[in-house]
Copies of this chain bind each other. A is one copy, B any other.
Amino acid sequence: MQLTSVDKAFELVLTNTLSFGYETIDFQESEGRVLAENITADRDFPPFDRVTMDGIALQGDAYLNGQRLFDIENIQYAGEVQKELINKNSCIEIMTGASLPLGTDSVIRYEDITIADGKTLLKDGLSMFKNIHGKGHDRTMGEVLLPIGHPLKSADLAVLSSTGNENVRVNALPKVAIVTSGDELVAVHETPKAHQIRKSNIYAISSLLKPYAANIQHFHIIDDLKESIDKLSAICQNFDVLVLSGGVSAGKKDYLPEALEAIGVKKLFHKIAQRPGKPMWFGRKENLIAFALPGNPVSSFMCAIRYVLPWLKKSIGINGVEETAILAQDVIFKPTLSYFMQVKLLQVKGVLKAYPFEGSGSGDLANLSLSDAFLELENQDSEVYLAGETYRFWRF
């Protein structure tokens, strides 16, 4: 069977993204979500001439004309209605965050003045017209602060709250079904017999996808074509995405591709020129996408990182950023597959290096715990990947 290249497979995955509509949520739960509305300034920012130092406010011209001693005629705290300087040769004591009093234009901090007996004495050589964060200096009313499509970070929650957006419209997330197959699998709480193993892939993949899914449900299918068709047919009524693990290779009970096609999921590719993860199958039925990953734990995990996660992120509006690292040692890998090599990453002086950390192959789950990413050594004619060359990596 013809293998699809990694690039072509990825292109097919990314040209088959879906969208899941919109929803309005509490802004306090919005970190990680993508805006489906523009957030605009409901007033100028700052909304008033805001004092940025504790000290006094005065008319700068009085000082520039040589006056050094000022009566303190009032005090203005943050949170108080704006006051007014009555005598233009006096001053008002003032606190950070307050409105600049009417009739003043300069703020002098406590460190530069002496206060005694209701008067203040100012040093020579001070700058006037400073320490004021002018109304509308940062943003003006009506300006878009966060645009549609912006992925919300923690800091953005402060923007949402300061503009009064208790609720916010964001892209909705998909419902994901994760389906295991393989008669050798038993549940986590069971004690496996000699020829059995416990389910594991499903939990690593669920944890990976969780931040980007509305909900994730787990299913298991026994190695039987009829049951596969019946169960998948039922599952696909209620989910946007199926992620299957196992049953996609050349084995006599690898029924999943056949079962998926039987329920109308059209194959977009089957088998990728990569190691690990070669047997992966990908298909679509209208607004349902199915990723059928290999059953091998490391293979399924890497396919989830390399294909499912970027698809999911793009579908909900998060663009992936390509990250690259410099290979630290020569690596030998014979053509004709791309090699997803586990690495440790080490960053020194802004330069990121990748050190091979391969463990004992695609079954060795515990090695994933100790590595940071896989480096994508693209299929090439030569079997040597040279130290110093740069390759894309995928962190996990």
Query: Which residues in A have some Cβ–Cβ distance to B below 8 Å?
Result: 27-28, 31, 43, 45-48, 50, 52, 54, 75, 77-82, 93, 95-99, 109-111, 133, 137-139, 145-146, 150, 153-166, 182-185, 188-208, 210, 223, 246, 249-254, 295-297, 301, 321, 323-326, 347-353, 359-361, 363-369, 390, 396
Contacts and interface: CB of A to CB of B under 8 A. Distances in A.
Contacts of A80: 183, 195
B78 A369 contact: no
6 contacts: A27-B188, A27-B203, A138-B359, A145-B369, A153-B369, A350-B351
Contact of A250 (B81, B110, B146, B321): B110
Contact of A133 (B155, B323, B363): B363
A252 B75 contact: yes
Nearest to A75: B252
Given A155-B301, A198-B162, A350-B352, A139 B366 contact: yes
Contacts of A47: 192, 194, 197
A369 B297 CA distance: 38
A203 to B, nearest CB: 4
Given A185-B79, A253-B77, A295 B45 contact: no
Given A324-B349, A350-B351, A54 B251 contact: yes
Top 9 A-B residue pairs of the complex, sorted by shortest distance between their CB atoms: A79-B183, A79-B184, A155-B368, A158-B200, A154-B207, A158-B204, A95-B251, A54-B251, A326-B350
Contacts of A45: 363-366
A250 B301 CA distance: 54
A48 B350 contact: no
Given A79-B223, A200-B162, A349-B324, A369 B254 contact: no
B250 A396 contact: no
- Number of identical protomers: 2
B195 A98 contact: yes
Nearest to A347: B323
A156 B159 CA distance: 36
Nearest to A297: B158
Contact of A252 (B93, B156, B369): B93
B96 A249 contact: yes
Contacts of A154: 204-205, 207-208, 301, 396
Contact of A99 (B52, B195, B202, B366): B195
Nearest to A80: B195
Contact of A223 (B77, B110, B150, B350): B77
Nearest to A191: B164
Given A27-B203, A324-B350, A390-B349, A77 B252 contact: yes
Nearest to A43: B192
B323 A96 contact: no
Most buried by B among A133, A154, A208, A321: A154
Contacts of A196: 79
